[in-house]
Amino acid sequence: MKTIIYTCPYVPAEWIAAHGLHPFRLSLDHTEPDSALARTEGLCPFVRCFIGEVMNNTRADGVIVTTVCDQMRRAFDILVRKCQLPAFLMNVPSTWQSFESQRLYIDELKRLGRFLTKLGGNSPSNNALAKVMLEYDSARKAILAAREYLSARRYAEAIASLYRDGPDKTPDSPTSTESSVDGIHLAIIGGPLMKQDFDLFDVIEQSGGRVVLDATETGERGLCAPFDRRRLHDEPLMELADAYFIGINDASRRPNSGLYKWLQQKIASRTVQGIIFRRYVWCDLWHAEVQRLKDWSNLPVLDIDTGGDNDNERQRTANRIRAFLEMLQ
């Protein structure tokens, strides 16, 4: 089966899978940046690693990039010039409240469908799409239900596994319960985490905390809304579009009031006591939210920026998390 790689949560894995292709959401590796870009001033480390991963990827048959962030949009320019892999730039509108923006997102899904068909995919029937959607929806529900019984790391890994391996092949089965460590309730908020960043969950637990809300892009915040089962059968594409386009709240939305509404509800229901804000250096969309979040939440916020991976930075981050949790105890 041909593999299509992507990172953006607004790309519905179900749509790719329904075309008979394997959606593979990349877990980026700090250690695989594109060397030609290593010293590029002002470049977000996540984008740098994404370009490196795509350039070096030998298993993929196509890549999907979105316009959600400006640097990713421009990363597409680099890929089409330097990389042989067929690439698709999906326009994901920043505005979301107007009918026209929602329509644009659906049109982009249809255009993506044509790209997938050209790569060897089959245009899915409504029934085929609904079946795939149901599988993913059930898997998501199972993962969400298991949250309280899993460590934060295992929970994050289960989400990553769903979008890497598919709904039927998650190695970290969320049904297997484990004793989750209790501690000070924390939320982790920000853009996507990279592979090595999952160590953060361990550091937090070892320091006496527990992430009860993974509001990163690769965590719970990046999951689409649950599907309306009846509409799923009648109008599966419309339901898919709504669940993703309206259901995922992100800092990039304009206005991004939906993100704060979502956070407010989650922070209250999970009795969050402190926030770890994780962002990449040069990621303006998230960086601009730090101070607003501090003013808005009335909770202690630890702002952790990262410029890439190195031992000093890892140690510094671990120390800061320990100090933050000591303060909260």
Partner 1 sequence: MNNIPRRITLEEWDLRYEQLKKSGIYQPAYGGPLRRHVEDGDRRLLKLRYDNSAAALRLWNFLLTEEYRLHEARAAGRKIVGTMKDLGTVPVMAYCLENLVAFYPDGAWWIPCVMELGAGLLEIADSLGIDESFCPVRAMLGAFITKAHFPIPDMLVCSVGATCDDFSAIAQRLNGLGQPIFWWEIPHRRSPEPDETAVNLPGGFSAPKCQVEFVKSQLERIKVALEELAGDKLTEQKLSAGIRTANLVRRHLAGLRRLAFTAELCPVPALEMLIAEMLAIHFCSDRQETINVLKELLDEETSRVRAGKGVLDAGAARIFWVNPVADLQVMNLLEDCGGRICGTEYLFTHALDEIPEDLPPLEALAQMALADPMVGSSIDRAQRICTDIRRFGSEAVLISRIPGASHCALEGRVIGEIVQEKFDIPVLEIEVPPVTDSMRPTVRTRLEALIETVKAHRYKLKI
Tell me how far, at minimum, the Cβ of 284 lies from partner 1, in Å. Answer: 4
State how far Cα 78 lies from the chain centre: 22
How far, in Å, are 88, 96, 305, 306 from residue 51 at the CA level? 14, 28, 20, 18
Tell me how far, at minimum, the Cβ of 283 lies from partner 1, in Å. Answer: 8
Tell me how far, at minimum, the Cβ of 36 lies from partner 1, in Å. Answer: 9
Binding site for partner 1 (CB under 8 A): 37, 40-44, 67, 69-71, 73-78, 80-81, 89, 91, 93-95, 98, 100-101, 104, 107, 111, 114, 251-252, 254-256, 281-285, 287-292, 294
How far, in Å, are 13, 52, 314 from residue 319 at the CA level? 37, 30, 9
Nearer to partner 1, 4 or 92 (CB): 92
Tell me how far, at minimum, the Cβ of 188 lies from partner 1, in Å. Answer: 19
Nearer to partner 1, 225 or 290 (CB): 290
Nearer to partner 1, 204 or 285 (CB): 285
Tell me how far, at minimum, the Cβ of 287 lies from partner 1, in Å. Answer: 7
Tell me how far, at minimum, the Cβ of 48 lies from partner 1, in Å. Answer: 9
DSSP code of 301? E
Nearer to partner 1, 162 or 241 (CB): 241
Residue type, 59: R
Closest CA to 133 of 264, 216, 272, 19: 19
Nearer to partner 1, 100 or 311 (CB): 100
Look at residue 277 and give its three-state secondary structure. Answer: strand
Nearer to partner 1, 155 or 277 (CB): 277
Tell me how far, at minimum, the Cβ of 19 lies from partner 1, in Å. Answer: 17
Look at residue 57 and give its three-state secondary structure. Answer: coil
Nearer to partner 1, 73 or 195 (CB): 73
Closest CA to 290 of 170, 191, 145: 191
Look at residue 87 and give its three-state secondary structure. Answer: strand
Contact 57, 85 (CB under 8 A): yes
The two beta strands, 274-280 and 301-306, are parallel
Q: Which two tokens stand for residue 69?
A: 């962030």
